[in-house]
């Protein structure tokens, strides 16, 4: 999508208006819908200024760059992942059994037959860890690589929304400790709201 400088500024102002803090989560949803309805708009309005070379508006992280970074970091983290699997912070078997009530609340048949607890009781923790780490993280890296298209698709929706939330928060007062606390709380609320929107 090609936009003139004037069209780009109009589009940017529209995004700014939609991202106003007073619009709350509906503003975030409207921004996401606008990008979805107009493929290419996101990239078009975030081209650097022809004169200054500066991107005027905070676009949020670039989806493709974020996905590529995710893939790169996964490849680099293979050793840490294996080490973490071999030295868990908690006994996953005990933790899973402790969460049986929460898990079974939505699975009435499992509650009736106690299938979850009985199944976890048969787990050999050391065997499970050995199985997970036997390839030194190769399956972990390969799994992330195979899902690259999905990661890019999800990031393409997520990153513009994060940028819109950032714009909302940046427009809020920050002079006093109370202002800054309110910014922090509103950011948390927006992030929680975004989670609900993405699940819908």
Pair of tokens at residue 55: 């991107």
DSSP assignment of 7-42 equals HHHHHHHHHHHHT-GGGHHHHHHHHHHHHHHSTTHH
- Does the model's pTM come out above 0.85? no
Dump pLDDT digits (tens) for 25-75: 888 888 888 888 887 777 777 776 666 666 655 556 677 778 888 888 998
Please compute the mean of the pLDDT values over residues 110-120 and round it to a whole number.
Answer: 87
Domain boundaries, the chain: 1-57+150-200, 69-146
Write the CA distances from 176 to 108, 116, 172, 179, 183, integer angstroms: 50, 51, 11, 5, 11
Query: Would you state the pLDDT for residue 57?
Result: 56
Separation between Cα atoms, residue 22 and residue 58, nearest integer Å: 19
Question: For the chain, where are the E strands, in sequence order?
Answer: none
Place of tokens 């912070």: 89
Beta carbons of 173 and 166 less than 8 angstroms apart: no
Work out the mean pLDDT of the chain and round it to a whole number.
85
The burial of 86, by beta-carbon neighbours within 10 Å (0-12 exposed, 13-18 middle, 19 or more buried), is given as exposed
Beta carbons of 3 and 44 less than 8 angstroms apart: yes
Separation between Cα atoms, residue 159 and residue 84, nearest integer Å: 28
Does residue 136 come out as left (phi exceeding 0), alpha (psi in the -120 to 50 range) or beta?
left
Does residue 176 come out as left (phi exceeding 0), alpha (psi in the -120 to 50 range) or beta?
beta
- Give the phi and the psi of residue 91 in degrees, each rounded to 5: -70, 110
């Amino acid at each position: 999508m090609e936009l003139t400088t004037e069209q780009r500024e109009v589009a940017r102002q529209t995004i700014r208006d939609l991202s106003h803090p007073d619009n709350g989560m509906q503003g975030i949803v409207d921004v996401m819908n606008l990008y979805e309805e107009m493929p290419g708009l996101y990239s078009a309005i975030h081209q650097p200024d022809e004169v200054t070379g500066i991107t005027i508006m905070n676009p949020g992280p670039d989806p493709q760059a974020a996905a590529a970074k995710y893939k790169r970091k996964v490849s680099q983290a293979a050793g840490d992942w294996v080490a973490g699997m071999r030295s868990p912070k908690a006994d996953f078997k005990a933790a899973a059994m402790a969460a049986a009530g929460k898990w079974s609340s939505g699975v009435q048949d499992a509650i009736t037959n106690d299938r979850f607890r009985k199944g976890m009781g048969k787990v050999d923790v050391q065997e499970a860890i050995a199985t997970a780490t036997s390839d030194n993280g190769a399956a972990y890296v390969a799994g992330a690589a195979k899902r690259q298209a999905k990661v890019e698709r999800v990031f393409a929706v997520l990153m513009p929304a994060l940028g819109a939330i950032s714009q909302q928060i940046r427009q809020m007062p920050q002079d006093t400790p109370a202002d800054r606390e309110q910014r922090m709380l509103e950011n948390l609320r927006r992030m929680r709201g975004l989670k609900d929107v993405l699940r819908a």
